[in-house]
Structure 1
Amino acid sequence: MNLYSYKMDHDYGLAPNPFWGFMSLAVCKGKIRRNKNLKIGDWIIATGGKNLGFENRLIYAMKVEKIITFDEYWNTPTYGCKIPVMTGSLAQLYGDNFYHTSIDGSIVQEPSAHSNPDFTPNESHKERDTKGKYVLLSNDFFYFGDNAPLIPQDLHDIICNGRDYACPKIPEEIRMAFVRWLKSNYTAGIHGDPISWRNFKLPELKTFQDAN
């Protein structure tokens, strides 16, 4: 079991997207999504970066259970709930299912949080996102958002201190101990709202059921 760890500088519920019953990582973190060593059963986690705050706190953890293409994601009815609705709720606005291949073979970016303000394609986001190649899905996930818990001191080796992500450098015994700590203290699912939603100055939304 590998564990991929990185720091988040913003959290809008887009990457990862924890809504509608399963977690998806479809945009951003392209180096992880296209990593040739990534396999089913690996874990991806993120802690808070300097811009976001929440240092040494766990924003989310997901066990990779499916690895699919953008077209599989777009064309499968089950995943239609993740297609952005630009006039909908914040959870709908930040849907991450918006890339697919057109008849002529070009990649389409549908209107989304990664589009330009007028909803035309943002080529910079498009290039970065689609370099990731794959969409990662999980039903075994823990999303804490603004209720992110402190990671115990003896597990701090899982925290990525670089700009990219950490994987092989994390000792196996620490990886296993982290998963044991996570599963013995928290139930899978959503435990908080996306941290960056506070920028909208809205009342607490409480999109979660249980904030253990």
Structure 2
Amino acid sequence: MPVTPLGPTRRTLAALAVLLAAATALTACGEQRTTATAGPADPATAGPAEATPYVDPGIVDGAPHNRDNLAYRRAKEITPAQTADAKREADRIEPVLKRLWEQGSWTPEVVRSQLIALGYQVERTGPNGEILGGTLDVRAMDSRFETDHYVTPPGARIGLRVHPDTCVSASVDPSTYAVSVNGTYPETGSCFQPPYGH
């Protein structure tokens, strides 16, 4: 009486090896893959790593094409002259936001009225998003998902257009206030940074 082997036969193992090799070849997509070594956590102190087609230089977490994927969240570069103009306006806005923060008044309505008192006009847009006039845009904070629903945190975001592509971006909320100078965001033309999850 013939004895039946308990484990896989050589023929079965050979077939599995061929299938595994074929699957590996199919997932390679015809591109050569190399392995980069992880460097220090601080990109400023990281040494040169072997580049791959899947990881942007300087990206420590190894996220593929991170720079390209987040391009919509990077503001346009502005000139030193534009920066100086925007800084002058930022210096006018900051004391107002500091006072409102100290008073605990950070609703968009209150912030808007205080900035209008400085002489800024509310930005008006047409049906296709074209700017019809004004330079000031004050909005509620971005909503965020918590547990099982979206909530809008208290506070206000401010975008002041100093030039068509130059902004003062600011915010005030219960924890802090902040004022910065930046270019507009290419995808929207707005002074507000688009949220993640685009």
TM over 0.5: no
Smaller-chain TM-score bracket: under 0.3
TM-score (norm 2): 0.24
Higher relative contact order (CA 8 A, sep 6+): 1
Which structure would you say has the larger Rg?
Answer: 2
TM-score (norm 1): 0.23
